[in-house]
Amino acid sequence: MKKVHVFNAGPCLLPQAAIDNAIEALRDFKGTGVSVLSISHRTKEWDATMDECRALWKELLHIPDTHEVIFLGGGASLQFLYVAMNFLERKAAYLDTGVWAHKALKEAQGIGNAYAIASSADRNYSYIPKGFEIPGDLDYLHITTNNTIYGTEIHEDMDCPVPLVADMSSDIMSRPVDVGKYALIYGGAQKNVGPAGVIFAIIRKDALGKVSRYIPTMLDYRVHIDKLSMFNTPPVFSIFVMNETLKWLKGIGGVEAIHRIDNEKAGLLYDEIDRNPLFTGTAAKEDRSIMNVCFVMAPGYESLQDEFFAYAKECGMVGIKGHRSVGGFRASIYNACTAEDVKALVSCMQEFAKLKA
Ligand SMILES: *Cc1c(COP(=O)(O)O)cnc(C)c1O
């Protein structure tokens, strides 16, 4: 296989062990003689995988007994609707930190009264708004902890006087989280914990059941909690690979260990961006994401952008094109991306700068 360095924003790079075990399970799921693609989800072998996956989520994130974790299809984008359906009665506020946050707000506005409590749209979402007042009469406040497109991140679990709901699609399992502070944490697996096709939702059970509307069965978190994510056919293969990814994470020391590694990786790349005269970062320094590192050509060097793309491609870099709304470059350095991958990108930037000096 061609040797490359993958910085795709999602679906993400996955650990090799997860891929190897997935290949084996495609042939033979746990010695059953049946492929994981054909296994019935009503078997004890599958139950064991489901239980293991649930237990790993709880162990790795120290999820308290007040909360349950479920796995569903439909993508994080469908969760935008779930949130409003299950929690919005009178009024909800959204922190507008980017395209995903905005889409989440739009879905809520289709259901009821929801508004942006603060926004960083004025500077193309390059920072996290701070110092806004949170009214005590909200059903919930919705935040997007990592803004995948802009490379900004809320690094701490905020104290919130109302139920706190967080889209953690792109930074889940990259840092320890005080789960008790959240009514709901959700996200698509494909940014950091598995392949596309499955979402996770960590829900404080007593936060449910407070809305008066009829909630369609499939959109009702209580149904999926009761049925242990098996009300209907779960995304079997995606959950299998997610479980393998979490086993890998546990094996290297869990969330605490990966947090150190992720910080080191991000540090290497941001140091180079700050040092190298050809490049400049786009996100406010204090809000820089440790998952998605966004940068552009520095003023005066803009014309070199295409040349750097071509050069980086030669060096084996995959997926470093920035999102079209930001331009430039984005290196997504999720958990399975190694320090070696990041170092290869850093040397590629250094070599390019030498060529152009
Ligand atoms: C990718 C992403 C989404 C959308 O996820 P889908 O599973 O494609 O619907 C939502 N929120 C954030 C923060 C994302 O990065």
| pLDDT, tens digit (0-9, with 9 covering 90-100), for 97-107 | 999 999 999 99
Q: Which two tokens stand for residue 348?
A: 């590629």
pLDDT band at 1 (very low <50, low <70, confident <90, very high): confident
Q: Could you tell me if residue 5 is inside a domain?
A: no
The pairing of beta strand 199-204 with beta strand 184-188: antiparallel
Atom from ligand 1 closest to the CA of residue 199: 7
Atom from ligand 1 closest to the CA of residue 147: 13
Region 329-346 average pLDDT: 98
How many separate domains does the chain show? 2
Mean pLDDT (the chain) is 97
Q: Is 227 a catalytic residue?
A: no
pLDDT band at 2 (very low <50, low <70, confident <90, very high): confident
Q: Could you tell me if residue 87 is inside a domain?
A: yes
**Pocket mutation for ligand 1, best pick of 106, 170, 184, 291 (most atoms within 8 Å of C-beta):** 170
Atom from ligand 1 closest to the CA of residue 10: 1
CA of 129 to the centre of ligand 1 (A): 20
For residue 118, list its beta bridge partners: 95
Rounded Cα distance, 36 and 40, in Å:
9
CA of 98 to the centre of ligand 1 (A): 11
Query: 238 and 91: one domain?
Result: yes
Catalytic-role residue among 96, 139, 157, 167? 167
Query: 57 and 173: one domain?
Result: yes
Q: Ligand 1 in contact with 11 (CB < 6 A)?
A: no
Query: 246 and 262: one domain?
Result: no
Q: Which DSSP state fits 323?
A: P
Q: Is 30 a catalytic residue?
A: no
Domain holding 285, by residue range, is: 254-356
Three-state SS string over 154-216 comes to CCCCCCCCCCEEEECCCCCCCCCCCHHHCCEEEEEHHHCCCCCCCEEEEEEHHHCCCCCCCCC
The pairing of beta strand 146-147 with beta strand 152-153: antiparallel
Q: Is the pLDDT of residue 83 over 80?
A: yes
Rounded Cα distance, 203 and 165, in Å:
9
Tell me the C-alpha to C-alpha distance, in Å, between residue 159 and each of 156, 172, 208, 295.
9, 18, 20, 31
Q: Could you tell me if residue 335 is inside a domain?
A: yes
What are the pLDDT digits (tens) for 6-34? 999 999 999 999 999 999 999 999 999 99
What are the pLDDT digits (tens) for 165-203? 999 999 999 999 999 999 999 999 999 999 999 999 999
Q: Could you tell me if residue 239 is inside a domain?
A: yes
**Pocket mutation for ligand 1, best pick of 72, 169, 323 (most atoms within 8 Å of C-beta):** 169
Domain end: 207, 226, 251, which one? Answer: 251
Tell me the C-alpha to C-alpha distance, in Å, between residue 240 and each of 25, 46, 61.
9, 9, 19
Q: Ligand 1 in contact with 195 (CB < 6 A)?
A: no
Q: Ligand 1 in contact with 170 (CB < 6 A)?
A: yes
Q: Is 191 a catalytic residue?
A: yes
Query: 277 and 288: one domain?
Result: yes
Q: Could you tell me if residue 290 is inside a domain?
A: yes
**Tell me, what CATH number does 310's domain have?**
3.90.1150.10
Domain end: 214, 229, 251, which one? Answer: 251
Q: Could you tell me if residue 8 is inside a domain?
A: no
| DSSP three-state, residue 41 | coil
What are the pLDDT digits (tens) for 268-327? 999 999 999 999 999 999 999 999 999 999 999 999 999 999 999 999 999 999 999 899
Domain end: 251, 283, 303, which one? Answer: 251
